Chains A and B, each alone.
Chain A
């Protein structure tokens, strides 16, 4: 049943024998395991060379069990059903709400999708959101329950749920175990039978969709493409249709699962193109590649510039690492078209960068890569969204940092909102509604997926969910709720900037833009946190929270009166000197605000959200 050559055929393939598909699944529902099993069953990888989660290449992806960059693989399939040799392209999709746009481009490269759901857990919000996305893209959806070998599996229950969602019969839902391989051959046969072949025009001018773009230190940018019409060949220069820039076609090929060089890629095929550029911005996800000698006139639809939605200040703990941070960001940006940053100077934290991200996961990943791959120690300020401020004089200011908020004379402030979807067992409906209400959400719909599972739809300010919303949701639903959201424009809101002052000096790193009803609680929370965190000084230190000139909360750090260790005799001296040396080191990591010395740890603790 495997291809005798053990690898994909390397010649031009007729479209009727091509099937392009992806797998839509929640984290932990077994997508990578299923992909691994397909590599084995089709013979492109021998079992002994298998390492778990072959397609997840980045360390962080493997550790977190998520896919950030889309991968793809070409699988030869000799169908036991009709005896024909097919070419299957599996396109792996990123699995997080921050990367919805990347998901949509991956889906646009396919004709079919496997909807993979854990038979013990049922569908999750994110999977549902991606399913809707697949249906909007007219993909043929094959519903599959995975992990049917688990004792906790409830295949009948969840088969009914899936059938209800996509409008098929429960019997049409395949039941597999990616772990044992049970049902995987049947699944591939279903793909061949039900997913339509590509239907582009092989003789038209070339058009290929970039669904992923990665930077490689040796080759420059490598783009992963789906050829829709015509043929991409190394004989022709290529043209990026959004930027109108022409480049050399250095190399084309397919992944099976290692790169295999080809002379050309033709309509319906999935593979890679190396355009000889140094930065992913010059070969963006969603763009259309055509031939420079015989260009197409209309690009494939759906291209969009990535737009950062969440901003945070990143500062090196050690000020001397600022140039290293800049270099590291420059390097990451080569491979991340959505990452934007500009230098920023904070009175409290020194020199750093204001960095824009697609969302919180994107922020976390970037931060982790900076620390892990570039060996930096960083402080990040509390993330904030982008505000649009209309001034009374008719001007407009885009605020990506609370300290840029224009003082006074503000006519209106707009904040971004999202459409959020929460899936949870119906017993938690009340708890979820209460949470969303407290985050200024407005309910737009309630749907019952089954008797016991409910889908709630809310419009929420993005600012309310970037902080700790997901954690709060999980804790109120004992971990059962899942969340997905998409951006949905902006709304006017009554927002104010709360400043935190130490001895009358505002500490820019602690300023926040919050809804006016929450200003007081933010102010008191921050002031009391800082009172605990900042050591007593030789003088009294008032801590104030203020909106403009109006103080809304205050705390006091009393002056220290005694610090001396009462006794110091012969046996105490070494200990005392070592303590002093340690304290001297500690002093170096103090930031001075006005006259107040604040330990670095206080900043980190005050800016972290985990403690409360």
Chain B
């Protein structure tokens, strides 16, 4: 999860939530594990390698602090409902031993309770998944694995600084299915410098060969401050232009749909990840861990980014929140629209601000331009072209 700093207001000593704010559910928990074996050149996530952290801020200290934050969350959300989804992201959560992940999950269960049939996902890199780990995760209560595959071609993986072999992810996904995980997802990246149309097709086919239930495909975003952005700036890595990215997306949509994985969000195909749907539905979630973001009934906050500072504040029984923003009604409604429009289930037209006649006109214009369709009454959905121009659609709807 990107933890890029946004300007916010200071968090009061009483904690991140304003008086009277409470979660009426559904409630999700995100747990950020800020460790990676190596730093990939394109990644700007809040993650650290062993060499970047001293012993005192290593995994053990992190787990204790994260456990403390889960208990703090429970104290803050007085009448919270049981948790419906838990998602371990990173970083590389599976760098922690399965029993550590199990302890964190168990604490969520003890503190909040888990809904029957709750979805529990962990991200994983292929090199960290073997049969023993997979069965330990199942045992601990995990129901879903999301594997960072990125590409099946060696030169693209090399550009991205990924250490695994092209076949590793596919094998890991197969192993996860064989171990008994019903839900297995693979992440792909397109638009890496040097990636050809056929490289992309090879990656899609390789991913599908593992028979995953879910695939995410993202255009590579070159974030400021990454090693990749420096290489691009120096002219060593020409970026593909937007038209090439549009081509890649269209190919992905065609190939994945044909394989039975239908789009349900702009960058996601297959059996939906309920945790991520919570973000797009503007539900409540608490983010545990350094730099993690949270949202509870219109208040967003984010934790301090460094693991040492994170462990220190929790050690002192204080909230690790760094800053927060209490959203205005207008900001909440803008968010509902910009997130909800991303979904294939469609956006109720009641989410469009302004009077309904004007909203109707704007929708009609967008439909005439082939950007949205109205599959059911009172609800709009992006077309394929509209998915690629979702920002334009959002602007038009908020005009």
Contacts and interface: CB of A to CB of B under 8 A. Distances in A.
A565 interface: yes
Interface string B18-44: 000000000000100000000000000
Nearest to A584: B398
A560 interface: yes
Interface string A557-576: 01011111111111111111
A572 B2 contact: yes
Nearest 4 CB-CB pairs, A to B? A561-B246, A564-B390, A566-B219, A566-B218
B245 interface: yes
Given A562-B219, A574-B302, A587-B399, 12 more contacts: A561-B242, A562-B243, A567-B267, A570-B295, A572-B1, A573-B293, A573-B339, A575-B6, A577-B331, A577-B334, A578-B6, A583-B395
A103 to B, nearest CB: 53
Contacts of B302: 571, 574
28 contacts: A538-B392, A560-B242, A560-B392, A561-B388, A561-B389, A562-B243, A562-B388, A563-B242, A563-B389, A564-B387, A566-B219, A567-B221, A569-B1, A569-B279, A570-B285, A570-B293, A570-B294, A571-B1, A571-B4, A571-B287, A574-B8, A574-B325, A575-B2, A575-B4, A578-B6, A580-B334, A580-B391, A581-B334
A524 B338 CA distance: 40
Interface of B: 1-4, 6, 8, 30, 217-219, 221, 242-243, 245-246, 249, 266-267, 276, 279-280, 285, 287, 291-295, 300, 302, 325, 331, 334-335, 338-339, 342, 369, 385, 387-392, 394-395, 398-399
Contacts of B267: 566-567
A565 B221 contact: yes
B175 to A, nearest CB: 26
Q: Majority SS of interface residues in chain B?
A: mixed
Contacts of A564: 266, 387-391
B221 A562 contact: no
Nearest to A576: B338
Contacts of A568: 266, 279-280, 339, 342
B279 A573 contact: yes
Interface string A572-604: 111111101101100100000000000000000
A570 B287 CA distance: 9
A561 B383 CA distance: 13
A587 to B, nearest CB: 7
Given A571-B2, A572-B2, A580-B398, A563 B388 contact: yes
Contacts of A584: 395, 398
A416 B218 CA distance: 61
Contacts of B292: 570-571
Contact of B218 (A560, A567, A578, A587): A567
Given A562-B246, A564-B391, A580 B276 contact: no
B325 to A, nearest CB: 7
- Residue with the greatest number of chain A CB neighbours at <10 A, chosen from B2, B218, B287: B2
Interface of A: 538, 558, 560-578, 580-581, 583-584, 587
A563 B266 CA distance: 12
Contacts of B219: 562, 566
Contacts of B243: 558, 561-562
A227 B387 CA distance: 80
A574 B302 CA distance: 10
Nearest to B388: A562
A576 B4 CA distance: 11
Nearest to B385: A561
B236 to A, nearest CB: 23
Nearest to B32: A571
Contact of A560 (B280, B291, B389, B394): B389
A534 to B, nearest CB: 15
A561 B391 CA distance: 11
Contacts of A561: 242-243, 246, 385, 388-389
Contact of A574 (B6, B218, B385, B392): B6
A538 B385 CA distance: 10
A587 B325 CA distance: 25
Given A565-B221, A566-B221, A566-B266, A574 B300 contact: yes
Contacts of A562: 219, 242-243, 245-246, 249, 388-389
Nearest to B278: A570
Contacts of A577: 331, 334-335, 338
Nearest to B280: A568
Contacts of B2: 567, 569, 571-572, 575
Given A560-B242, A560-B389, A569 B398 contact: no
Contacts of B280: 568
A303 to B, nearest CB: 58
A565 B391 CA distance: 8
A562 B391 CA distance: 9
Contacts of A572: 1-2, 4
A448 B361 CA distance: 75
B221 A574 contact: no
Contact of B293 (A566, A574, A587): A574
A563 B390 contact: yes
Contacts of B8: 574
A242 to B, nearest CB: 57
A118 B392 CA distance: 61
Contacts of B249: 562
- Residue with the greatest number of chain B CB neighbours at <10 A, chosen from A538, A558, A568, A571: A571
A574 B7 CA distance: 9
A212 to B, nearest CB: 53
A538 B246 CA distance: 13
Contact of A563 (B6, B291, B391): B391
A399 B217 CA distance: 59
A131 to B, nearest CB: 55
Given A562-B242, A566-B267, A573 B388 contact: no
Contacts of A578: 6
A572 B6 CA distance: 10
A201 to B, nearest CB: 77
A581 B285 CA distance: 24
A581 B242 CA distance: 23
A447 to B, nearest CB: 52
Contacts of A581: 334
A580 B395 CA distance: 8
Contacts of A573: 279, 293, 295, 300, 335, 339
Nearest to A578: B6
A409 B30 CA distance: 75
Contacts of B390: 563-564
A29 B300 CA distance: 63
A582 to B, nearest CB: 12
A567 B3 CA distance: 13
Contacts of A563: 242, 388-392
A541 to B, nearest CB: 15
- Residue with the greatest number of chain B CB neighbours at <10 A, chosen from A561, A564, A567, A583: A564
Nearest to B335: A577
A541 B66 CA distance: 54
A576 B300 CA distance: 13
Contact of B394 (A567, A571, A580): A580
B282 to A, nearest CB: 9
A576 B334 CA distance: 11
B340 to A, nearest CB: 11
A562 B385 CA distance: 8
Nearest to A583: B395
A573 B337 CA distance: 12
Contacts of B394: 580
A569 B4 contact: no
Nearest to A536: B242
Nearest to B248: A562
A573 B342 CA distance: 13
Given A560-B242, A562-B249, A564-B387, A570 B392 contact: no
A571 B218 contact: no
A200 to B, nearest CB: 72
